[in-house]
Structure 1
């Protein structure tokens, strides 16, 4: 009897744990969707898009939000989101995204002409439909993952017969050939497979320095650090609080930035104020300008 009660208790605890885990995942998914919707609303304030973007963002699915959030996690900024929504071709030097997006709900194999150097039997291109992405298409590259949003999904290939959407897809291809721009769900983008957008590119090439070069570089770095230390505070304080002694200054040059390093989410976004200006502040500024103009008139406009 005790073992029966014990098994029932363990089973109840496991169900409770799964329910709590599911609730935590749902809460996290809601937070991601909210964040991505805000990014879309912000980028929709500037630039021309096809109508309906903000309304579509309100019906953003968790799978769509996860894809855009993954791009943001790899350095996508709000200004770059504009090109992504317009069909820009994106390269991310992270092959894990291919498998992650491949297993997402609603994903299905697709035929495309992108990155023909990849074995499509081993790494087939994957599509997924959604309110914002319309048709998300992604696949593998030699060292990462590529992704592109399309205005019109294509079903041709294999045993499937052509559909009306396939004809619209061919029309989008004609637009691409004439404009040299990808046709995305919300506009056109010049970032094609030949001129893609790079996120988190693997550019670091480790190399060793010869001993004379390393000594010279270390001496130069120590001089720069000493000058910075003296000019940042009074010379007396700088002498009392020296910086930490690091034996290998040259080795620090090759260290990468942290995951959140760089210019930040908003990058080179345009900054604008949406609040109504204070009437009191406006009145004070007008009076100040009037007083300055009167003083200039009395002094003949010279200082």
Structure 2
């Protein structure tokens, strides 16, 4: 099924070994890169980042745009983009992203200590370098995919001797131990693996309630429903048409909304509009609004 969102239409990057070709796919990819650049520029105006973020966004690769756009498609808002760029640990309840983010030309297997409950032989952690993400690291979880951006790439493992990059990575780890914050490409984030940023959580999971809890919860839901029974007609007429009497009100809890339900891309961020001042409009506004004097009528009808 074709994705509707422009950010998620980078179809030629979706599978390992995918080859870019001229055509609609390239146009959609460029639209995705442009949109992600605008998101980064917007969040850079309101947040504190290390220098060079906007310049790096101008060199954003299609693979980087695909990853960030997928996060946006799964509910990432502009204010949350700050934590992602600063190294926040992100969980997405979508296992398919693990394979979608494996790009044949730029991805490589990595060692990490994240999510040790996952079989790393079956699902190795995947790294990727870029101008904005610096070092992107992602892997599988029991329910989906995790991703985190790092300031410094590391290549531990095997018989390789530690490099300068590995030593810098160790320094970032020391900063993490001191500040309890992840060290990302453009700042620090408190969204660690123990306190992650959770996107598209699977809420519609069946759970059982004890009878006393279910009884109290049902009573509370009925009180809320009665207090919310507001109509545009008179109270006498509204009483003649009560809402449907459902036996189990608690069964409606936890049902997730379909589509891109929620607060939208900008969430609770401050959105502003910058416009060029119209000289004509300014001249009209500067004019005096005092009404003209009305002559008084004297006795006899003469002014």
Indicate the TM-score class for this superposition, using the shorter chain for normalisation.
0.7 to 0.9
Give the structure 2 partner of residue 205 of structure 1: 205
What are structure 2's unaligned runs of at least 5 residues? Answer: 1-20, 291-303
Give yes or no for the alignment of 1:36 onto 2:23: no
| Matched residue, 1:174 | 174
Q: In the alignment, which residue of structure 1 is the partner of 2:82?
A: 82
Output the TM-score relative to the length of structure 1: 0.74
Structure 2 equivalent of residue 10 of structure 1:
none
C-alpha distance 268-223 of structure 1, shift in aligned 2 (>3 A): closer
SS in 2 for 1:44: helix
The CA deviation string for residues 170-199 of structure 1, in whole angstroms up to 9 with x for no partner, is 111111111111110001111111111111
Match runs of 1:1-303 below 5 Å: 22-103=22-103, 105-207=105-207, 231-233=231-233, 251-275=251-275, 279=282, 283=286
Contact 2:112–2:125 (8 Å) recurs in 1: yes
1:58-80: per-residue Cα shift (whole Å, max 9, x none)? 11111000100111111111000
Q: Label 1:234 to 1:181 Cα distance change in 2 as closer, same or farther (>3 A).
A: same
Deviation digits for residues 41-71 of structure 1 (CA, Å, limit 9, x no counterpart): 1100012101111111111111000100111
Q: Point out the structure with the larger helix share.
A: 1
**In the superposition, relative to structure 1, how do residues 283 and 154 fare at CA in structure 2: closer, same or farther (>3 Å)?**
same
CA displacement at 1:210 relative to structure 2:
11
Query: Quick check: 1:74–1:200 contact (8 Å CA) kept in 2?
Result: yes
Greater Cα offset, 190-199 or 95-104 = 95-104
The 8 Å contact of residues 39 and 78 in structure 1, kept in 2 or not, is answered as yes
TM-score (norm 2): 0.74
Q: Give, in angstroms, the shift of residue 259 of structure 1.
A: 2.3
Q: Which secondary structure does the structure 2 equivalent of 1:168 belong to?
A: helix
- The answer to whether the Cα contact below 8 Å between 1:86 and 1:186 also exists between their aligned partners in 2 is yes
CA distance in structure 2 between the partners assigned to 1:104 and 1:39 by the alignment:
26
Write the deviation string for residues 86-137 of structure 1: whole angstroms up to 9, x where unpaired. Answer: 0001111111111111245411000111111111111111000001000000
Aligned partners of 1:50, 1:143: CA distance in 2, in Å? 33
- TM-aligned CA deviation for residue 244 of structure 1: 9.7
Q: How many residues align?
A: 268
Over residues 133-170 of structure 1, what are the superposed CA-to-partner deviations in whole Å (9 max), with x where a residue is unaligned? 00000011111111000011112212333221111111
Deviation readout 1:15-50 (Å, 9 max, x if unpaired): xxxxxx851111111111111111111100012101
Distance in 2 (alpha carbons) for counterparts of 1:201 and 1:60? 28
Counterpart Cα distance in 2 of 1:109 and 1:115: 15
**Secondary structure in 1 aligned to 2:101?**
helix
Pick closer, same or farther for the CA change 1:37–1:219 going to 2, 3 Å. Answer: same
More displaced stretch, 160-169 vs 135-144: 160-169
- Matches of 1:215 and 1:154 in 2, distance apart? 54
Q: Are the counterparts in 2 of residues 214 and 250 from structure 1 also a CA contact under 8 Å?
A: yes
| Kept in 1: contact 2:124–2:139 (CA 8 A) | yes
Cα–Cα, structure 1 residues 32 and 247, in superposed 2: closer, same or farther, change >3 Å? farther
Instruction: Specify every segment of 5 or more residues in structure 1 that has no aligned partner in the other structure, as ranges.
Output: 1-20, 289-303
